[in-house]
A and B are shown apart, each in its own frame.
Chain A
């Protein structure tokens, strides 16, 4: 029988027995052998793997001094030379989840495969699940045994250099990649099976799942509009006449911002639409149809709003990937917040 795989386990100060919040500032430390949930991990690994070391770091230390924590962890991993790294499970704990995900990324940078486990809504999963193998768990440690069983199975596979199959089969969070495998039955027959199941009201599993959009908690309303600064954003492809910034007309990966500080209205002499998804000629005659500056200035004069934010933001919203949309949306939102904006209107063609 082959030697057991060398496993290094990362846990936080709580699971490491150092304490709760009062110990969350604890720096990175390394101990030999398994600790806390590592003992159950060791049991789940059986004779195939051996937890040689446990890395412990306080959740606050990791998240406040991330570079320092990762440098220490990287140094320990280089010394301990594990064949696979296990982090967590972090369940619903946000700081711990972020730490686990980043420890896995650090291991992967060293060429060491890694696996963690957490709730699918954990910020660590929301930010890193496309880059790190994550076993889904519930929000609390009640699911520890089940989580560790999944983690141990995947850790052994990864440590042996095996390629993982699809997420749904292997039991990790989908990473947004397609992994082909043989289903043992041709597509047209599977489609007919599915149709029959549907017609008979039997459960069936689609092979083309639709990615559900993110849910964003609604922001609270503005208490006093008459003092509020309102930002304007459009996905209608608004550009300066002649498009001197050379904005694209589709599949945007960046947005442009323009000052409207001195403007009362948008004139077709100075602005136009450059957008591959609709006929632009009406907007070209009156760009306020997609960025309602003229109306906003009137509302400002009437005292309905306090001010129009000095910058407006524009991009063509056609063929844009969800990933790019998310990045641009975040950047625009950060800019608006940094500028003291209280609310925004987004006009979408």
Chain B
């Protein structure tokens, strides 16, 4: 039995077309999990949203290569109020 893998990529068409089953849309090629242009707080929040979405895909059943867009999700909602302020 395999283990689920969430693949985070800004060029998400590539993993989708090559058969990755859980694909999470990342920010940009040069900063996949976050965006320094947003400033430290929003950068962290954006990165956290992407990583939470990626973690959420690991508990989500899929049947074929599937794209998850962190900006259109409410990943791990039970944690929404408990985000730690630990900046990178």
- A: residues with CB less than 8 A from B are 213-223, 225, 228, 230, 233, 236, 264-265, 278-280, 282-283, 285-286, 288-290, 292, 294-299, 301-302, 304-305, 333, 336-337, 341-349
- Determine if B7 and A218 form an interchain contact, defined as CB atoms under 8 angstroms apart: no
Q: B79 touches which one: A282, A289, A304, A347 (CB < 8 A)?
A: A304
A238 to B83, CA, bound (A): 27
- Determine if A298 and B29 form an interchain contact, defined as CB atoms under 8 angstroms apart: no
- Closest Cβ of chain B to A13, distance in Å, is 29
- Determine if A288 and B15 form an interchain contact, defined as CB atoms under 8 angstroms apart: no
- B: residues with CB less than 8 A from A are 1-11, 14-15, 17-22, 26, 29-34, 36, 47-48, 50-52, 54-55, 58-64, 76, 79, 82-84, 86, 88
Q: A348 touches which one: B7, B21, B52, B88 (CB < 8 A)?
A: B7
- Closest Cβ of chain A to B11, distance in Å, is 8
Which of A216, A286, A298, A344 is most buried by chain B, counting CB atoms within 10 A of its CB?
A298
Q: Are A215 and B55 CB-contacts (below 8 A) given A294-B86, A346-B6, A347-B33?
A: no
The chain B residue with its CB closest to the CB of A344 is B5
- Closest Cβ of chain B to A269, distance in Å, is 13
- Determine if A286 and B36 form an interchain contact, defined as CB atoms under 8 angstroms apart: yes
Q: Are A349 and B29 CB-contacts (below 8 A) given A219-B5, A221-B4?
A: yes
For residue A304, which residues in chain B have a CB less than 8 angstroms away from its CB?
52, 55, 76, 79
Q: Are A349 and B30 CB-contacts (below 8 A) given A301-B84, A336-B3?
A: yes
- Determine if B8 and A219 form an interchain contact, defined as CB atoms under 8 angstroms apart: no
- Closest Cβ of chain A to B77, distance in Å, is 11
A214 to B86, CA, bound (A): 40
A349 to B28, CA, bound (A): 8
- Top 4 nearest A-B pairs (CB, nearest first) are A219-B2, A218-B21, A343-B58, A295-B51
For residue B29, which residues in chain A have a CB less than 8 angstroms away from its CB?
278, 349
Q: Is the interface of B mostly helix, strand, loop or mixed?
A: loop
Known contacts A214-B19, A343-B3, A344-B5; 15 additional CB pairs below 8 A are A218-B62, A219-B1, A220-B1, A225-B58, A278-B30, A283-B30, A290-B32, A295-B52, A299-B55, A304-B55, A304-B79, A343-B5, A345-B6, A346-B6, A349-B29
Q: Are A218 and B36 CB-contacts (below 8 A) given A302-B79, A305-B55, A346-B7?
A: no
- Determine if B31 and A289 form an interchain contact, defined as CB atoms under 8 angstroms apart: yes
Which of B22, B51, B54, B88 is most buried by chain A, counting CB atoms within 10 A of its CB?
B88
A283 to B30, CA, bound (A): 7
A219 to B59, CA, bound (A): 10
- Closest Cβ of chain A to B65, distance in Å, is 8
A-B contact pairs, 13 of them (CB 8 A): A215-B19, A230-B58, A282-B31, A285-B36, A286-B31, A294-B88, A295-B48, A295-B51, A295-B52, A298-B83, A299-B79, A346-B8, A347-B7
For residue A280, which residues in chain B have a CB less than 8 angstroms away from its CB?
30
- Determine if B58 and A213 form an interchain contact, defined as CB atoms under 8 angstroms apart: no
- Determine if A216 and B32 form an interchain contact, defined as CB atoms under 8 angstroms apart: no
- Closest Cβ of chain B to A344, distance in Å, is 5
For residue B15, which residues in chain A have a CB less than 8 angstroms away from its CB?
348
A286 to B33, CA, bound (A): 10
Q: Are A337 and B3 CB-contacts (below 8 A) given A214-B19, A289-B32?
A: yes
The chain A residue with its CB closest to the CB of B58 is A343
